[in-house]
Every structure is written in structure tokens, then in C-alpha cells.
Amino acid sequence: MAQVRERRLEVNDYADGVRAGDRAMLGRAITLIESAKPEHARMAQALLQELLPETGKAHRVGITGVPGVGKSTMIDRLGLNLVEQGHRVAVLAVDPTSTRSGGSILGDKTRMSNLAQRREAYIRPSPTSGTLGGVARRTREAMALVEAAGFDVVIVETVGVGQSEVTVAGMVDFFLVLLLAGGGDDLQGIKRGIVEIADMIAITKADGDNIARARRAQAVYQGALAILTPTSPNWSTPVLTVSSAENRGLDALWEKVVEHRARLTESGELAERRGSQAVAWMEELLRERLLAALEADADVARRRAVLEAEVRAGKRTPALAVAELLAMMGLGPDRGADRGADRAPGTSP
């Protein structure tokens, strides 16, 4: 008996399924935007354009912290609190990708086991695929899709590896940094740059014998923040203590998130910030497409290998090498003038 082939999904199929809150279709849509195939990329962009009117209404919260600080435990408990208040919560948890195998741990549904059981919540682990700082390559697009599916709180959990957190802060409305107390000098173990971009700092595991240490750390960080430039002229970064195990301090934490959104909305800063983020997203895609076009041109790829060898050997400056490659693609200042015009003396084409 001949096997019936499954009908190929079109953009409107994905869009209708996402709008209807179909979890299976939402998962397939996110898989589509994560695909590197050109055909899938075209469909993904058409889908995002179709769903654009349904995006942008959610609270976008980035959460980071060093390994062991309790990110997943806190998100699990906070997410349950929000669900019980009537919210729909989506968690985009960015997993570390192995530099050897390309594999990803993808264990977030087990680390957030309570939240994962709720129909009002959606947890999507995404491998970093080697991108800067542990931010998944398509996190922004995934955020748009879960918003279109009706989730009004979107939490992006990062791997907490330093510089990447700047990237996360650039795609959310509120950036929360989790810290531990009792590790010696409380100002060590996290870069000043991360503290500077935080909209709030929460000292975790403030329970049992650790309560006093957490309060001391709270005072230290609050004092340090007093001499730093705040993230917004409309907001002063608070420092709270929380205990996920005892579900203490999390309601106050969320109240600060809501207060922050209200202040930035009233001042017009939220709309301005999101507009700037959208332009940054466009520029990032432009760089990505230009690099892809460069790599797809066989002649450019061959010449690039030669130029890389010359740069490595000190026979050509990196700037001249880039100028030649751009000229080959018709993107140089002379728009395709003689490819060898800027060739360094003594080098061959």
C-alpha cells in the first residue's frame, strides 16, 4: 500500500497555527526559523512579516547569572507564580553548544519540571550554535513567534558567560542579573560591565544560614551601583534578595519588572528602545547575509583563501584584503574597478 505523503506546510499554515496557540505548530515554526536552509530562511522571514502585527505586546525579560546561581530554579518558581496570576509564560532557554560535536545539553524541561507541566507555559531550549555569549542565533525571531502565539511574558535565560549578556540586554525590555552571596569579595566573579547594564540585581538563595550574607551582599551592590551610570534616566537599579526554595522575594521582583515597564512606557523610552533594537536586528541580519553571499561565491571563496594566507604571512594588510574581496562582489568604493589595482607590490593574483 502506497504511503501517503504529508502535505508540505505553507507560510499561512504556520501563521494560523501560531495564532491559534497550537504548541506543536509553534515548535515547528521555531524549528523553521532556526534552519539554515535558504528555502526555510525565505519562508521564516515571510512568516515573521505575516505575524508582525501580533508581536511586541509581551514583557521581555532577560535573566543571567554565573553557573550555580539558580537561574532555572528561579525561573521555574517565578513562572509558576505568573501562571497562577493569569499570565502565559514562554521561556527561551539558551543552551551551551559543544564546540567539538555541536551537540547541546537541552535539559531545560527537566530543570524547570514544574513549569513545563503547565499548559500556560512554553519552554523552548535552543542551542547556541557557537554564537557570541550563548545567545541563540534566532532568539529574536523565536521571541516574536511566542508573542504571536499569545504568551505575554517572555523570559530569555542565558548561559551566563560574560560578554554575551550585552547581546541579551539588547533584545529585551528588562535585564535581570542573579548573583550569589558568600563567595568572598562580593564584587568579584562578575564583570563591572554586566552590573552596569542590569536593570535589577537579585541575590539568590537568601534562605537559612545564607540570609545574613545575602543582605550584606545586597548592601555592597547597592553601594556600588550608586557610583555607576544607571541604565535609564527613568530608572534606578534596585538590588533585592530572593529565595526560590521558599518562594520569597519573587513577587517583589516581578513588581519591579512591572514598575520598570510602566515608567519607560510613560516616558516613551520603551518604544524608543524597541525601535533601536529592531534596527540593530536589521543590521545584524544584513551582516549575516553579506557574509553568506561572500561565502557562496566560488571565485570570491578561492581568492579569500589566498588573501588569508597573505595576511597571515604579513604580505598584505587586512584592510587591503577586505577591499579586494568587496571589489570582487561589486561592493568596493570603485564598484568593481580593476581587482588588482590595490594589490600589494610583489604579490600575485
pLDDT score for 337: 43
pLDDT tens for residues 16-35?
999 999 999 999 999 999 88
Ranked by mean pLDDT, the top range of 76-85, 118-127, 294-303 is 76-85
Radius of gyration of the chain, Cα coordinates, nearest whole angstrom: 24
> At 236, is the secondary structure helix, strand, or coil?
coil
pTM of the model: 0.83
Please state, in angstroms and rounded to a whole number, the distance separating the CA atoms of residues 212 and 80: 27
The confidence score (pLDDT) of residue 296 equals: 85
Helix orientation angle between 38-51 and 11-19, rounded to the nearest 10 degrees: 40
Q: Cα–Cα distances in Å, from 36 out to 70, 93, 128, 138, 288?
A: 33, 20, 14, 11, 12
Domains of the chain: 56-265 (3.40.50.300)
DSSP secondary structure string for all residues of 150-169: T-SEEEEE----STHHHHHH
Greatest alpha-carbon span in the chain: 75
pLDDT at residue 101 tops 50 = no
Pick the closest to residue 195 from 155, 171, 224 (CA basis). 224
pLDDT at 185 over 50: no
Average pLDDT of 198-215? 93
Summarised one tens digit per residue, pLDDT across range 287-341 is 878 887 888 889 998 999 999 999 999 999 999 999 999 898 887 665 544 444 4
Going 342 to 345 to 347 to 349, the CA torsion angle's sign is: positive
Mean pLDDT of 34-62: 92
* pLDDT of res. 247: 96
> Can you read off the three cell numbers belonging to residue 132?
557570541
Q: Which three cell numbers stand for residue 276?
A: 533601536
Distance (Å, whole) CA 86 – CA 84: 5
188 burial (CB, 10 Å; 0-12 / 13-18 / 19+) is: exposed
Is the torsion defined by CA of 277, 279, 283, 285 positive or negative? positive
The answer, yes or no, to whether residue 342 has pLDDT greater than 60, is: no
C-alpha cell at 61: 525579560
User: What single string gives the DSSP state of each residue in 181-213?
Assistant: S-SSSTTSSS-HHHHHT-SEEEE----GGGHHH
